[in-house]
Amino acid sequence: MKTKRLDQLQFLRFIAFGFIFLFHAFGSNLEPHLYTTNAAYAMVSFFFILSGFGSGYSSADRREKPTVKAVCYHLWKKIKKIYPLLFVTTIYFVLQSDLPQAINTGNLELLKENGWNLMKCLLMIQSWGNPFLFYNGVTWFISTILFLYLFDLPVRYYLDKAHEKKNEKTILISLSVVFAIAIFTIATLAKNRVDIGYCLYAFPPSRILEYLLGMCMGRCLYRINSERKSDGNIVVFTIVEGFALLLWVVLFTLPISVNSYSMQTYWLIPNVFVLIIMAMGMGGFSKLFSMKLLKGVGDISMECYLLHQPVLMTYMAFVQMENTIRGTLFYIIFNLGFIMLLAMMIHKKQ
């Protein structure tokens, strides 16, 4: 397996979006019965690790020099891909905010507050201050991930340097362990510290360790995959993949209290485990997830992520929600289907 793109991981990205979609669709209404907030928060962490993983895996042997020009161009390519949809969804939420009313009534205080929040969204610095959830609230993720993209080229450069050494995989595994221990240690020290919840969750520098962990894992898995001479026993690896996926889903639906400790103790291990197992691509589930249909669904995950809150808000604004099984199923199927349809129309092939 010498490809630098792991198609089977794309569908995992869509599954992660699905958990976030359900959380925003139901909130706490469903929590006592079928769902907890753990899954949505865990999948946000998964997105950061997976983004770093993809960066480390796909960039192997490129030998890119981290010049200022190269870093700026790399960041510009990312912004150019994301910004149009971010802009449209943010402007759409302006219609449902207090900004039009503030302009109409001449309320300068309200106008100042809403105007500044709008500028933070449009300038993609939404997560650099608290509160960070306004307009299209999920766009805080974009401002955080853009900050992490700044580390792509410098870290790749030093990872390429490690390739010149005989013990490259040992170095990468050691770095991954160090980053994981650092994440766990910080989470333990900050356990139940509600006052710094924003700093641990949305503040961009707080996600560096997860991103770097993903980059080291991705580069290490690329070396393992490229040096592997056989695919091994597909039955055994199918069982292992099935166990990893089951653990990944089940642990996130347990009634575990949400705090910094649970975030990194109960979420980090299954996120890392499922990434490693599925990235090896040696079992039936990875073969299934690599199919064109499921890969295509995974490719539109970011568009779905940016679109889901505007679609849900519009639906709830026009439809009187009834707490029935039929109404709930229609609510989920209609909104998810419409989001995916819009995302497919917007998505541009690389």
Tell me, what's the pLDDT at 112? Answer: 81
Tell me, what's the pLDDT at 32? Answer: 45
Residue where the block lists tokens 């480390």: 56
**Cα–Cα separations (whole angstroms), residue 340 to 137, 142, 336:** 19, 20, 6
What is the arithmetic mean of pLDDT over 40-67? Answer: 86
Residue 325 reports pLDDT greater than 80 = no
pLDDT band at 213 (very low <50, low <70, confident <90, very high): very high
pLDDT band at 4 (very low <50, low <70, confident <90, very high): low
For residues 137 and 121, what is the distance between their CA atoms, to the nearest angstrom?
Answer: 9
pLDDT band at 2 (very low <50, low <70, confident <90, very high): very low
Burial 78-114 (b: 16+ CB within 10 A, else e): eeeebeebbeebbebbeeeeebeebeeeeeeebbeeb
Residue 198 reports pLDDT greater than 80 = no
For residues 241 and 12, what is the distance between their CA atoms, to the nearest angstrom?
Answer: 12
**Cα–Cα separations (whole angstroms), residue 17 to 84, 91, 310, 342:** 20, 22, 15, 15
Least confident interval from 48-62, 204-218, 225-239: 225-239
| Token digits of residue 295 | 């890969």
For residues 293 and 217, what is the distance between their CA atoms, to the nearest angstrom?
Answer: 27
Contact 180, 224 (CB under 8 A): no
Residue 9 reports pLDDT greater than 60 = yes
Higher pLDDT among residues 60 and 340, named by residue: 340
Q: Look up residue 140 and give its amino acid.
A: W
| Token digits of residue 348 | 């541009």
What is the arithmetic mean of pLDDT over 42-55? Answer: 90
Residue 318 reports pLDDT greater than 60 = yes
Virtual torsion, Cα 260, 264, 266, 267, nearest 10 deg: 120
For residues 297 and 313, what is the distance between their CA atoms, to the nearest angstrom?
Answer: 23
Tell me, what's the pLDDT at 328? Answer: 79
Region for residue 113 given its phi and psi (left: phi exceeds 0; alpha: psi -120 to 50; beta: otherwise): alpha
Q: Which one, of 3, 1, 125, 127, lies nearest residue 54 by Cα?
A: 3
Residue 146 reports pLDDT greater than 90 = yes
Tell me, what's the pLDDT at 160? Answer: 87
| Token digits of residue 318 | 């026009």
Considering 61-65, 109-113, 133-137, 307-311, the range whose residues carry the highest mean pLDDT is 307-311
Tell me, what's the pLDDT at 31? Answer: 45
Contact 253, 36 (CB under 8 A): yes
For residues 345 and 249, what is the distance between their CA atoms, to the nearest angstrom?
Answer: 29
Residue 56 reports pLDDT greater than 60 = yes
Tell me, what's the pLDDT at 175? Answer: 93
What is the arithmetic mean of pLDDT over 214-223? Answer: 92
Tell me, what's the pLDDT at 260? Answer: 53
Task: For residue 106, give the 3-state DSSP assignment.
Answer: coil
Residue-wise pLDDT tens digits, 84-138: 999 998 888 888 777 777 788 777 887 887 788 888 888 988 888 887 777 887 8
Residue 337 reports pLDDT greater than 90 = yes
Least confident interval from 222-236, 267-281, 315-329: 315-329
Entry pTM: 0.88
Tell me, what's the pLDDT at 269? Answer: 84
Q: Which one, of 76, 206, 43, 50, lies nearest residue 153 by Cα?
A: 76
Greatest Cα pair distance, the chain, in angstroms, is 71
Summary mean pLDDT of the chain: 83
Residue 344 reports pLDDT greater than 60 = yes
pLDDT band at 340 (very low <50, low <70, confident <90, very high): very high
pLDDT band at 189 (very low <50, low <70, confident <90, very high): confident
**Cα–Cα separations (whole angstroms), residue 33 to 13, 28, 265, 267:** 25, 10, 24, 21
Could you give the percent of the chain with pLDDT greater than 90? 26
Residue where the block lists tokens 């949809």: 85
pLDDT band at 193 (very low <50, low <70, confident <90, very high): low
Tell me, what's the pLDDT at 28? Answer: 46
Tell me, what's the pLDDT at 53? Answer: 94
